[in-house]
């Protein structure tokens, strides 16, 4: 039975790299039924919104969502992020952002292989806060961070379950418990309680500033890293930078409870300056599609795709996509 995939090409190079990702998925022999959704920056000036509630209801019927890239210079900053990405995260309950990092960091001889699990629906991103006396010398702005036991625990449990399937069987909590004492205490207590349910998994704790240093100087210490929304946002970009570049980084926005579709996307931006020139490298989109196949139970095909991307091909967008597809077929 075909997997039903909602395809959101998005802005800039998004449609180009997504097309190549789907070419590789089909070359791997996976039966997919796709439907394109016109959800991009051009929609906002026309409709006053990007993702309507009606379209969101349509997306719920799919097995997964494959997204290319978002970002349109004609649209004010934050509009697409809040109107599309954050709306999907919250409404589809995509509470885990999972990003794998494999590569050889600058200054190191041996490759690393670790995964960051980022809580994806809480923290400062929920929009709690406000402004008083805006535009005056006495302006006050507050930005709250919302952390619930339910949200924290399900994210941490996902990290431990993932570690159970990996050879190193290790989980590191990253936070700032010495300063963010309320949220940090909730994260640390919950982490320790969940760890007790997994006696075969070793654990560690790093303050986020220390973790930033270790990501660069000693990435091999990590296996599975779990952290909150804001710290995860920062650390995953750093993880991409030490693993071949953020332009090659893949990501999964997961609903592990499977009450709706999960969404998969490359980390890179829309690169409008090279859109339509056939110069964008589609590897991150291809690897994101491999994460999608893992989640859909097509792990053998996903492994073949990752193996085909190990020795990075070069060339135009379509040339790289064709080369990866040929390797997968072979």
Rounded Cα–Cα distance for residues 21 and 325 (Å) = 9
Phi, psi of 224 (to 5 degrees): -120, 125
Distance CA 62, CA 14 (A): 20
CA distance linking residue 154 with residue 150, whole number of Å: 6
Cβ count near 284 (within 10 Å): 26
DSSP 75-132: S-TTHHIIIIIIHHHHHTT--EEEEEEEE--TT-SS-EEEEEEEE-S-BGGG--EEEE
Written as six digits, the tokens of 245 are: 């570049």
Phi-psi sector, 278: left (phi>0), alpha (psi -120 to 50), beta: left
233 is catalytic: yes
Answer yes or no: 87 catalytic. no
Catalytic residue among 185, 237, 273, 326: 237
Active-site residue flag, 31: no
In which residue are the tokens 């629906």 written? 121
Q: Is 209 labeled as catalytic in the residue annotation?
A: yes
Question: CB of 103 within 8 A of CB of 43?
Answer: no
Distance CA(292)–CA(66), nearest Å, equals 8
The one catalytic residue among 125, 222, 223, 294: 125
Catalytic one among 38, 57, 185, 209? Answer: 209
Say which of 63, 93, 176, 228 is annotated catalytic.
Answer: 176
Single out the residue of 1, 37, 45, 4 nearest to residue 18, CA to CA: 37
| Nearest by Cα to 211 from 242, 185, 182 | 242
Residues catalogued as catalytic: 125, 176, 209, 233, 237
């Amino acid at each position: 039975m075909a997997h039903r995939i909602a395809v959101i090409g998005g802005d800039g190079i998004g449609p180009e790299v997504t097309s190549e990702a789907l070419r590789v998925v089909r070359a791997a022999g996976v039966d997919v039924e796709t439907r394109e959704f016109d959800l991009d920056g051009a929609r906002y000036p026309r409709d006053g919104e990007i993702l309507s509630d009606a379209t969101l209801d349509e997306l719920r019927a799919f097995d997964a969502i494959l997204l290319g890239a978002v970002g349109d210079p004609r649209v004010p900053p934050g509009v697409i992020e809040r109107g599309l990405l954050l709306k999907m995260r919250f409404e589809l309950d995509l509470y885990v952002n999972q990003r794998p990092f494999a590569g050889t960091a600058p200054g190191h001889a041996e490759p690393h292989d670790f995964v960051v699990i980022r809580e994806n629906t809480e923290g400062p991103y929920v929009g709690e806060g406000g402004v008083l006396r805006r535009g005056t010398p006495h302006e006050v702005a507050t930005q709250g961070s919302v952390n619930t036991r339910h949200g924290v625990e399900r994210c941490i449990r996902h990290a431990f379950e993932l570690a159970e399937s990996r050879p190193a069987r290790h989980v590191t909590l990253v936070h700032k418990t010495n300063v963010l004492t309320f949220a940090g205490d909730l994260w640390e207590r919950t982490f320790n309680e969940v760890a007790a349910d997994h006696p075969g998994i070793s654990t560690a704790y790093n303050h986020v500033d220390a973790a930033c240093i270790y990501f660069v100087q000693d990435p091999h210490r990590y296996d599975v890293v779990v952290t909150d929304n804001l710290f995860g946002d920062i650390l995953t970009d750093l993880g991409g930078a030490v693993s071949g570049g953020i332009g090659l980084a893949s990501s999964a926005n997961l609903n592990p409870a499977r009450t709706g579709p999960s969404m998969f996307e490359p980390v890179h931006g829309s690169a409008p300056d090279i859109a339509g020139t056939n110069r964008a490298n589609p590897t991150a989109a291809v690897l994101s599609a491999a994460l999608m196949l893992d989640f859909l139970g097509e792990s053998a095909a996903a492994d073949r795709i990752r193996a085909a991307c190990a020795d990075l091909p070069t060339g135009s967008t379509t040339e790289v996509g064709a080369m990866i597809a040929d390797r997968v077929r072979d």
